[in-house]
A and B are shown apart, each in its own frame.
Chain A
């Protein structure tokens, strides 16, 4: 069979979002790949240069739409670094609850999209059913289903609503034994194991050099995690450890990446439960929105020459914001906002991982890296 280029075009069930993967195919085997991104490039960095610091949070919610909270928090930490603001303890705990719930919702969205990639449609509906539970909790915090605009520079917009802790504990308990349902559907089905094990090898050292971090890296048997390497928030007070998967000799494959994310959901659930128990001032007390317990006074102008940068553990890897202060309005608007998207760097690496495998493995490998195109194209 002559080699031919197939373009898995912008609209394609395999791409979770809009991008094109040009694949050179010899029969059923992939010989060469070339990703083509930029189909939903909205120039968020350019728009942020003419927005105030609070207005930018809404744009950061819409970067990676599957995990809106993690991205708006990543931006807010960088903004607090720029404006030098001390965040009260209780606000940090509330932020941790919001971020970890969002991480579970993001992994559920990934697991739901990974099922149909390999051919099982009922997983998508099950995972979205559980994701609705998480979105209900986040809706109580942020007010809307997907984009919450929840953190503020110096704290959070609102305190936990009444009865939130009790509802959260109930839903997380139900969720923890729902995970066994997914594991039964995935781990005990030989078809899934045969389709995902030994497919898409990636060695940890090579991944770090290629800029791949997060669950994809931890699938290779290394426990590197921004939350403990460059600590932020209150992760040091809680008892947790990033899950690590014992990969195969040739490196992490799709099965390991699936295992790591399922474990990570359990770790995030336990983190939320611990945070609700250890919340200073108790999880059931309620403070008014502007209360100093949850929102510190913060300056709104950043003088010329000041900069703020922060690394953050997003559900897909290491996300980062770099903000140079001193824009228009005497510093009310940033001069330059630069966004590091983990998937913008992982997708080309994942495309290289596919070489040598079958056409049917392309969605399995690409899906296991959990691409989210909103953050990739910014």
Chain B
């Protein structure tokens, strides 16, 4: 049966739309309006002509009411999902800046809003609110003075005001650094827009639009909770994967249009890399769909949560699939170690070197959105979406079971999805802090030679699991346990199976197997 929790936003909005439309329908005049006019016959025409309809506003409205309701419902849901995505996405740059700072043993951004009233080390903008007309500034003046005396410069304690004077050390509970993303984005908005002289102007302007539009469209099909989705077609998984793959086209356009050699190479690299990684990604996602038996993301999650369906998270059934999905998603959103298209080291900034100001800011945000979408998808496909970990086992406990299940029913499903997604983004950042950048041809070779066959194996394994071992009711406990243990063992054996003898003899265990150097130039062999 479909999972559900109290935060039934689609239900509320549907009922609200139908309620409001019914009220409108009732208010409308129900009597027929007869606007029939008969023009008497005269010398010019013999029989009288009747002109004008007889219509009833209420019945006319009734005929269009369902369409109106669904339109209104769709608008509300789109705004709700977009708003939820944008607000919850604010944590992503914060996690990135702070966690990568901690991994690098430093503090990371500590910007706070306080310097609005505190000013910069004692220098403030003067009584700027007096410039507001009609004396509107005075309340702002009061507020600033009040804040200044509690948290600002004119605090009576000398030390406090000296520290506040610095105005950039945030209080810990104010999440210091959280507003750095705001500050960056506002600065992008006020930057001058420069188009290179002989850039391909139309394509230069269209490229950010393509990237941003497709990235936001992906979230139309991503359900945040059982009842929080903008659209829930039967094949939502396929729709989303299709739209997810369009953004690299925009990346290539941007690279081409900027008329700069670096961006051209960056654009071509991204096109090559994403085609190499689109196929293993789709096959892995196909494996998930096969295992959960449906192309609809909500049904996939229900299958993992359902007491009577699967009741096992896919990560335990398909650890190889989870790993493949993680690797291909990192390549898809172009984060280190698959960071070639915007490799700072040799391409200055890769395909977006020529973009500055708001266009670059939006593409910067689009990249975070794609990473955020990747994390949410991983949470939905493999970590059981909006099911709390050990939800049913905990609530079946003898003593505290009742209380726990009550608490679980209070917490909306969307909070679990967000927690898992943010945790996964921390894993993305961790990978970014510890790995180097893989070279372009090695990326492609790794994609074609290792990921593709592995994803095939994973798909076959999913089919076998689904057809042979699944008997309609929930998985027998030993199946996921066996799969996890075996794949864990396999991974450990393969990963640390160093060629011991080679290391002692200092033979080179990893001399690159790349394609023989296609070097037209003189290469000293």
Partner-B contacts on A (CB < 8 A): 4, 6, 8, 12-14, 25-26, 28-32, 115-122, 125-126, 129, 185, 189-195, 197-199, 201, 203, 246, 248, 250, 355-363
A289 to chain B, nearest CB (A): 37
Check if B510 sits within 8 Å of A195, measured CB to CB: no
Complex: A6 Cα to B262 Cα, angstroms: 8
Which residues of B from 86 to 140 have beta carbons under 8 Å from A?
A: 100, 103-106
Q: Is B190 an interface residue (CB 8 A)?
A: no
B286 in the interface, Cβ–Cβ < 8 Å? no
The answer to whether the Cβ of B435 comes within 8 Å of any Cβ in the partner chain is yes
Q: Given A192, A250, A363, which contacts B525 in the complex, CB threshold below 8 Å?
A: A250
Chain B's nearest CB lies how many Å from the CB of A352?
9
Q: Is B201 an interface residue (CB 8 A)?
A: no
Does B521 contact A32, Cβ atoms closer than 8 Å?
A: yes
Which residues from chain B contact A120 at a C-beta distance below 8 Å? Answer: 336, 433-437
Whether the Cβ atoms of B433 and A117 lie closer than 8 Å is no
* Cα–Cα, bound, A359→B340 (Å): 11
**How many angstroms between the C-alpha atoms of A56 and B344 in the bound complex?**
38
Q: Is B346 an interface residue (CB 8 A)?
A: yes
Residues of B within 8 A of A191 (CB): 337, 435-438
Interface of B toward A, CB cutoff 8 Å: 100, 103-106, 261-262, 265, 336-337, 339-340, 343-348, 432-442, 506, 508-512, 514, 517-525
List of 8 A-B pairs having minimum Cβ-Cβ separation, nearest first: A119-B437, A356-B519, A356-B523, A125-B104, A363-B345, A193-B510, A31-B521, A360-B439
Contact of A116 (CB < 8 Å), options: B261, B345, B440, B522: B345
Enumerate chain B residues within 8 angstroms of A117, measured Cβ to Cβ.
345
- What is the bound-complex CA distance between A360 and B336, given in angstroms? 14
Q: Is the CB of B510 within 8 A of A29?
A: no
Please, how many angstroms separate the alpha-carbon atoms of A248 and B436 in the complex? 22
**Whole-angstrom CA separation of A125 from B106 in the bound complex:** 8
A116 to B437, CA, bound (A): 9
> By the criterion CB–CB under 8 Å, are A28 and B441 in contact?
yes
Q: B440, A29: Cβ atoms under 8 Å?
A: no
Asked whether B435 lies within 8 Å of A197 as measured between CB atoms, the reply is no
- Which of A12, A185, A197, A355 makes the CB contact (< 8 A) with B434? A185
CB neighbours (8 Å) of A361 from chain B are 439
Q: Which of B104, B344, B524 contacts A122 (CB 8 A)?
A: B104
Task: Considering the complex, give the chain B residue whose CB is closest to the CB of A125.
Answer: B104
- Bound together, the chains give a CA A120 to CA B344 distance in angstroms of 11
Name the contact of B345 in the complex, choosing from A118, A126, A199 (C-beta under 8 A).
A118
Check B104 against A194 for contact (C-beta < 8 Å): no
Contact of B439 among A129, A195, A201, A203 (CB under 8 A): A195
CB-based contact A189/B434 at 8 Å: yes
A362 to B346, CA, bound (A): 7
The smallest C-beta distance from B289 to any residue of chain A, in angstroms, reads 31
- Would B437 and A118 count as touching, CB distance under 8 A? yes
A195–B436 contact, CB under 8 A? yes
Report the bound CA distance from A6 to B520 in whole Å.
17
Which single member of B265, B337, B433, B511 contacts A28 (CB below 8 Å)? B265
CB distance from B52 to the nearest CB of A (A): 72
Residue picked from B100, B105, B346, most chain A C-beta under 10 Å: B346
Complex CA–CA separation, A13 to B437 (angstroms): 15
In the complex, are the beta carbons of B511 and A248 less than 8 A apart? yes
Chain A residues with CB under 8 Å of B440's CB are 28, 358, 360
Bound Cα distance from A309 to B442, whole angstroms: 49
- Additional A-B contact list (15), CB under 8 Å, known A28-B265, A195-B442, A356-B519: A13-B344, A29-B518, A120-B434, A120-B435, A120-B437, A121-B100, A121-B432, A122-B103, A189-B435, A191-B435, A194-B514, A355-B519, A359-B265, A361-B439, A363-B346
Q: CA of A116 to CA of B436 in the docked complex: distance in angstroms?
A: 8
Query: Which residue of the partner chain B has the closest CB to A248?
Result: B508
Tell me, in angstroms, the Cα distance from A6 to B265 when the chains sit together.
11
| CB–CB A360/B343 < 8 A | yes
Q: In the bound complex, do residue A358 and residue B436 qualify as a contact, i.e. CB atoms below 8 Å apart?
A: no
- Collect the chain A residues with CB atoms within 8 Å of residue B436's CB: 115, 118-120, 189, 191-192, 195
Contacts A119-B436, A122-B103, A197-B510; A12 near B348 (Cβ below 8 A): yes
The docked-state distance in angstroms from the alpha carbon of A62 to that of B305 is: 66
6 residue pairs of the A-B complex, CB under 8 angstroms, read: A4-B261, A6-B262, A14-B346, A30-B521, A125-B104, A185-B434
In the complex the two chains form, what is the Cα distance from A292 to B420 in whole Å?
70
Whether the Cβ atoms of B511 and A355 lie closer than 8 Å is no
A197 touches B438 (CB 8 A): no
Q: Of A32, A126, A190, which contacts B510 at CB under 8 A?
A: A190
Q: Which residues from chain B contact A116 at a C-beta distance below 8 Å?
A: 344-345
- A357 / chain B contacts, CB cutoff of 8 Å: 517, 519
> Do residues A195 and B433 form an inter-chain contact, with CB atoms below 8 A?
no
Complex formed: what's the CA distance from A353 to B436 in Å?
22
Say yes or no: A195 contacts B524, CB within 8 Å: no
With both beta carbons as reference points, the residue of chain B lying nearest to A8 in the complex is identified as B346
For B509, give the chain A residue with the smallest CB separation. A193
Please tell me if the beta carbons of A119 and B524 are within 8 angstroms of each other in the complex: no
Which of A30, A126, A193, A361 has the most chain B CB within a 10 Å cutoff? Answer: A193
A78 to chain B, nearest CB (A): 36
Report whether A126 and B104 are in contact in the complex, using a CB–CB cutoff of 8 Å: yes
> Quick check: B261 and A355 within 8 Å, CB to CB?
no
> Which residues of chain A come closer than 8 Å to B343, judged between CB atoms?
119, 360
Q: With a CB–CB cut-off of 8 A, which chain B residues contact A195?
A: 436-439, 442
- Give CA–CA (A8, B344) in the complex, Å: 12
- Docked complex Cα distance between A115 and B436 (Å): 8
Q: Is the CB of B345 within 8 A of A14?
A: yes
Q: Tell me whether A356 and B517 are in contact (CB under 8 A).
A: yes
Hey, which chain B residues are within 8 Å of A358, CB to CB? 439-441
B511 touches A356 (CB 8 A): no
A12 surroundings in chain B (CB, below 8 A): 348
Q: How far is the CA of A2 from the CA of B510 in the complex (A)?
A: 33
When distances are taken between beta carbons in the complex, the residues of chain A under 8 Å from B511 are: 197-198, 248
Residues of A within 8 A of B432 (CB): 121
Interchain CA distance A121-B438 in the complex, whole Å:
14
A197-B511, A358-B441 as given contacts; A119 in contact with B434, CB under 8 Å: no
Of A31, A194, A195, A355, chain B has the most CB atoms within 10 Å of the CB of: A194
Tell me which of A118, A126, A246 contacts B506 (CB under 8 A). Answer: A246
Contacts of B525 in A (CB 8 A): 250
Known contacts A8-B346, A125-B106, A248-B511; A194/B523 CB under 8 A: no
Shortest distance between the CB of A194 and any CB in chain B (Å): 5
**In the bound complex, CA of A191 to CA of B435 (Å):** 7
CB <8 Å contact, A119 and B518: no
Min C-beta distance of A1 to chain B, whole Å:
9
Contact residues in A for B265 (Cβ distance below 8 Å): 25, 28, 359
Determine if A13 and B434 form an interchain contact, defined as CB atoms under 8 angstroms apart.
no
| Least Cβ–Cβ distance between A115 and chain B, in angstroms | 8
Counting chain A CB atoms within 10 Å of each CB, the highest count among B339, B438, B440, B441 belongs to: B438
